[in-house]
Amino acid sequence: MKLLLLLSMGVMAYAQSFYVLSGVDSYRILVADMSKKTEKYNGDIEKLMQGISKEIGIVTSNKDSRVLALLVSDVSMGEVIGLKIELELGEYVLRKGDTQNIFALTYMDTKLIAPDFKDEEDVEDQLADSIEEMLESFKLQHIEDNTNQSSHNKTVTHETFASDMDYETKYKTALDKAKKEGKPLMIFMTTSYCPWCRKLENRVLSQSKIDKKIKEKYIPLMLNLDTSTYPKQFAKTRFTPILYIVDSHDEKILHQFVGYNNRDGFLRLLK
């Protein structure tokens, strides 16, 4: 049971970091405590949420359609009853191709705790520590995702990234250009629905210093994993983003960086 719990918590922690908080500048705060054991702390929880929001400059308005909610509920944890704590950001978003907004969760963090409910101090301490940790993670990610790097970056969107950054978009064209200039190819493999790809675009590849180094060493090519035409060797994994460094003469993969967390390895290669 403990192993199952640890695995589920690991999945939840991974899911949390998957979200992007850029552009979130306002929301309504909601505390929904469905456990009789902890409902008396609702006022304190709301103050914590207000405080962290003020620190990062977020406007909290009761009329906002975007909601940051903290939910507490009882949960069975084997032979004991514990607490499930969820921090969720819900907002109306427009899917590509749709004309009507839908309400979706655009951030989620979950923790499970098993305090001794006979010890009120233990309940309060574990609850406060968990919520403060979750709010701090939310705060740090919000800061990272909204850091203003406009003096070093181009303003890019996924739809116009290739044209804005002067990346090739056809494999054969890029390959011929790389052969002519005697450079390797740098293939940025992406999808339209990958939030980590958006982070790589906005926080790494669009930085002017990094972009300059890329173009000094490589011919950059942007491909969509789902819709572009390219050799099968570049479709062995479905995880994106992927950065391939490819020898333009024999098309051999020299280096491969899968995922946003491999950006540091890629940056070391540019030095």
CA-based radius of gyration for the chain:
23
Euclidean distance between CA atoms 36 and 251, whole angstroms:
63
Look-up of token digits 């084997």? 78
Look-up of token digits 């989620």? 108
- From first to last of the 271 residues of the chain, give the pLDDT tens digit: 433 343 343 333 333 346 778 889 999 999 998 999 999 999 999 999 999 999 999 999 888 999 999 999 999 998 899 999 999 999 988 776 777 888 888 899 999 999 999 999 999 999 999 999 999 999 988 888 787 544 455 667 888 899 999 999 999 999 999 999 999 999 999 998 888 888 889 888 988 889 999 999 999 999 999 999 999 999 888 889 999 999 999 999 999 999 887 778 888 888 8
**Residue 4 dihedral angles phi and psi, to the nearest 5°:** -65, -40
Q: What is the pLDDT of residue 6?
A: 38
71, 86 in Cβ contact below 8 A?
yes
Q: What is the pLDDT of residue 173?
A: 97
Q: What is the pLDDT of residue 216?
A: 96
Q: What is the pLDDT of residue 267?
A: 87
Q: How far is CA 249 from CA 178, 182, 252, in A?
A: 9, 9, 8
Euclidean distance between CA atoms 80 and 112, whole angstroms:
12
Q: What is the pLDDT of residue 152?
A: 53
Cis previous bond, 195, omega within 30: no
Q: What is the pLDDT of residue 38?
A: 93
Q: Which amino acid is at 162?
A: A
Q: Which residues pair with 74 in a beta bridge?
A: 83
Q: What is the pLDDT of residue 140?
A: 87
106, 68 in Cβ contact below 8 A?
no
116, 123 in Cβ contact below 8 A?
yes
Q: Which amino acid is at 197?
A: C
Q: What is the pLDDT of residue 171?
A: 97
Q: What is the pLDDT of residue 117?
A: 93
169 exposure class (CB count in 10 Å sphere: 0-12, 13-18, 19+): middle
For CA atoms 244, 247, 252, 254, the dihedral sign is: negative
72, 84 in Cβ contact below 8 A?
yes
Say which residues have a Cβ less than 8 Å from residue 103's Cβ, sequence separation at least 6: 90, 91, 92, 93
Euclidean distance between CA atoms 203 and 197, whole angstroms:
10
Token duo for residue 113: 């705790």
3-state secondary structure of 257: strand
Q: What is the pLDDT of residue 109?
A: 92
